Amino acid sequence: MSTTIIVDELMQQIEVTTPEMVYCAVTTVGQREFGMAMQHGLKAQLTIIINHDEYDGQKQVEYNRKMYSVYRTFVRDDGDIELYCEARLGVN
């Protein structure tokens, strides 16, 4: 999901979210990552792996009709990036 800010006819700034479809691989979060996230008050749920060129710093993603917040990223040597995600409460 990418977010842009537009200005309406009343000169108010409005945040507009536009979905973008990308190919990904999804894995479960390992025990170590889950524990580290819990120490910071996060509930790690899944890791999404996409091509690094398709990621532009988005802080939220949608997967299987559920919204997730990206709390951490990891750039891999093979050109991909791992997005560590937690479910967004009150959104789904």
Q: List pLDDT tens digits, range 19-76.
A: 888 999 999 999 999 999 899 888 999 999 999 999 999 998 999 989 999 999 999 9
Residues 59, 79, 63, 61, Cα dihedral to 10°: 10
In one-letter notation, the amino acid at residue 78 is D
The Cα-based distances of 55 to 30, 58, 80 in angstroms read 22, 7, 9
pLDDT tens by residue, 13-30: 888 877 888 999 999 999
